[in-house]
A and B are shown apart, each in its own frame.
Chain A
Amino acid sequence: MRNRNPGSEALRAAACAAVCAVLLALPAGAPRAEYGDVVINNHSDKAGMRPVVFPHWFHRIRFSCKACHADLGFQFRAGGNDINMVKIIDGQFCGACHNGEIAWAIENCNLCHSAPPGTPTQVHESTLQRMNK
């Protein structure tokens, strides 16, 4: 009998989940990211970078909506904020926190710029996105 290590159960569960996922695949390859994940592709594709994915779920665990949408002036619309790296370096928008003090700094390009190239600006699983499908 092999020793059970803590990872083996998790691995098994993950494998079973993966199998079920494949067996019960709905439209194959359809994105199934988190509700509220925002893809921002205002400038990224043109600049040869991967588009940005902003995970709402991750940030709302740590900050109230107000911290970004009132204090930092983020508009309630995907792509509705003209964010660029110069502004971020100057401490605006994402740069208000992603400065190495509150959150990791901007040298971690690929943590934000992480969507497959060509992914359009969108709020994933939003009502509008679902209706336009």
Chain B
Amino acid sequence: MRARLGFRIFLFSVLAPCWVGTVSAQQGKTVYEKSCALCHGAGVAGAPKFGNSADWAPRISRGAAALYTSALNGTPKGMPPRGGNAELKDADVKAAVDYMMAAAAASPKPAAAAAKPPAPAAEKPAPVGKPAAAAAPAAAAASVAAAQPAAQVNAFNRLMRPASRQNPPPTEDGIHDPKNDGTHQLQAPRSAYEGLPRASAGNRVNWVAALEEKRITPRWDRADPKAAGLVLDFNIVREVKGSMPDVVYPHKQHTEWLDCSNCHPAIFIPQKGANQISMASILLGEKCGVCHGKVAFPVSECRLCHSKKKDLAGSASATGARP
């Protein structure tokens, strides 16, 4: 009886850690796939790549506790706290770290030949663990390219900037120096644009609508919040060559922002027919291009100016081309 109890205790003490270990490994795998694989799967932005012993060895050598701390609190290099998923419990994060450490330890060393492919390769769509990849630096670079998930390579609008990359904060915009302390005090454009009507180009804000809807109230006079300008509501239609719709130039929207002297007479002679305007000159930053293509909506927005449909029937009958 006593011996049997002793055996049971023995059995439990041997099996329980195995069971717990399996559960934690399973939990680690789940957490990894949900919250970590996005970066660690492909080694994005310097993240140690899953199953890559060369990436992980120096980190593992500093001890698991250091890795837990980095994973829980984030690192200046770009690791977000808890992998960016604040709902993860400490145990989840640690389990995921354990899982990644185990995978790194289990993966073959660079020198070892392809006796067996590394375990994680089977789970991934892209061939991450090419056996010979680690042999030569050139081949390693190729594997980095190959490691990009196929979905990204053939993504839609490959050359377009996705919404997530629009209006970045000053520290990430490439124009401000992140090492400058003042940069960190500057307002992030997205916070300013909240609630403003959107547009598909430029700042992605429809400034004219924002003003019309009084979402913004820019001062007409820098020192007098009550001063108001003289708005001139007077459209000018410019007939254009070719098949593009004619241009309607609204004085109204322009005089809500600008003074007459801003455009006349230096840029536009205030006389009908006195101004030669072409898209070439606009693209080169002249005429309308003094503002449009720099700060006012860009030249990609053809139809905002070319907005008056030509009377094709009339013009066709005038030339006698009508059947």
Q: Is B136 an interface residue (CB 8 A)?
A: no
**Cβ-defined contact, A65 with B78, below 8 A:** no
A12 to B181 Cα, complex, angstroms:
25
Q: Is B229 an interface residue (CB 8 A)?
A: yes
Size category of the A interface is: 35 or more
Asked, given contacts A63-B219, A64-B258, A76-B290, whether A4 binds B87 with beta carbons under 8 Å apart, the answer is yes
Q: Tell me whether chain B's interface is mostly helix, strand or loop, or mixed.
A: loop
Q: Is A34 an interface residue (CB 8 A)?
A: yes
Q: Chain B's nearest CB lies how many Å from the CB of A112?
A: 8
Q: Using a Cβ–Cβ cut-off of 8 Å, how many residues does chain B contribute to the interface with A?
A: 72
**Cβ-defined contact, A115 with B175, below 8 A:** yes
Choose from B80, B182, B299 the contact partner of A15 (Cβ within 8 Å): B80
**Cβ-defined contact, B285 with A96, below 8 A:** no
Choose from B87, B162, B176, B289 the contact partner of A8 (Cβ within 8 Å): B87
Q: Is B118 an interface residue (CB 8 A)?
A: no
**Cβ-defined contact, A128 with B81, below 8 A:** no
Contacts of A92 in B (CB 8 A): none
Q: Is B111 an interface residue (CB 8 A)?
A: no
A128 to B44 Cα, complex, angstroms:
33
Asked, given contacts A50-B180, A65-B258, whether A102 binds B222 with beta carbons under 8 Å apart, the answer is yes
A-B contact pairs, 19 of them (CB 8 A): A8-B86, A15-B80, A17-B164, A22-B44, A32-B168, A34-B203, A36-B294, A36-B295, A37-B173, A61-B216, A61-B218, A63-B218, A63-B219, A64-B220, A69-B262, A112-B182, A115-B175, A127-B298, A131-B283
